[in-house]
Structure 1
Amino acid sequence: MAEEPPKPTARDRLWPFALGMAAVALVVYVFTYAGDQSLRSKDGGWQVTFTTNSAGTPMLRVDLPSKGFTNCTVVFEGESVPADFQPLTTNFTDPTHLPVPVLFGEWFYADLTYLPGAVTFNLFGKEANGTAGMRHEVELIQAGLVVDRHRHDWQPDLAVIATAENKRDWPKPEKQKGNLRPWHMFMVLVIIGGVMLLVRRFSNSNQ
């Protein structure tokens, strides 16, 4: 009578299953990461130009072509720039350690996880024009252009005048804590589900 081939043990079945789950998790991670990176950068960052208007008054010009926000300006009445001032255009796309000095003041807050994100400036404060504690706060968010805590809806050629009377010793908002993004949550669920299936499969094989 021929001997029956030995049945695979639980340990024999565990490794192929574990390797298969690892391969599935890796493939899912690669595709979700690539999709997340595309989603993060598809709208591009805020294009900000520190310049002056025709009268020589300091002006901030903001553009976000992907959303149709073009030639949006904030003119700072009553402020001035040095005689050797040169306009500067920059694109806010990369997170950095804040605060960072910029023309007219400082860039002190940003959430650039998903572009264009949020960018906030303190401008023409103590270091800029000698007004101790008083400064303009300008925030760029998709919901609108916020100047001195007053929001203006985005539209092409939006023009905002920031006067010295609107300067305040604005309390700096607390830094927001990062939240789990959708693909992070998906990966967590995949890993938890894989572990649960692995434990269940291993338990059944021992019965």
Structure 2
Amino acid sequence: MLHLCIVGLGNPGDKYSKTRHNAGYDFLDIIAEQFHVDFKYLKKIDADYVEIDFKDQKIALIKPREFINKSGKTLQLVRKYKVKNTKDILVVHDDMDLEPGDVKLKLSGGHAGHNGLRDILKVIGNDFVRLRFGIGHPPNKDQTDSWVIKKPNPQEKKEMANAFEKAINNIDKIMLKDWMIIMNDLHSNEH
């Protein structure tokens, strides 16, 4: 069994590449690049998958191939085949309640209107860790669906890159599941 599964949420396909909703995919791509590993499709969990050896621990990076609103399917399979405990799952996702540039770690909780999380909660419960990247709110609540599948503007993109960097600076602690230390670091570095 794995020490940790890091699951990045996003929508598959070029059409959605680098959109706000794909913050989870984007962050996993950064980790994979840093560790010089490449994703391969793993049919058993219907996801792009790669394992990293880190300090005698096996860590998996997982990008579900389903659309974000159906993320629960992959998480159910991850739970079945890859980890004993949902506490060993870190879900990386976009969050409209945080501004671009903000990144927070949360140990459990509800879905806060995020349809990907809503689907996951239905399937595996809420006892997993989340890494939340801020994407801000659309100017109008009616625009939520189109907002999340658009690319961020240049300023937001810069802010999001800063948030990815803050999180990557904690990658060793993430791999070791030092959640409280990460929370202290990320939450005390408000910009």
TM range (shorter): under 0.3
Q: TM-score, structure 1 length as denominator?
A: 0.25
Structure showing the higher helix proportion among its residues: 2
Structure showing the higher strand proportion among its residues: 1
Q: TM-score, structure 2 length as denominator?
A: 0.26
> Which has the bigger relative contact order, CA under 8 A and spacing at least 6?
2
In our comparison, the structure showing a higher alpha carbon Rg is: 1
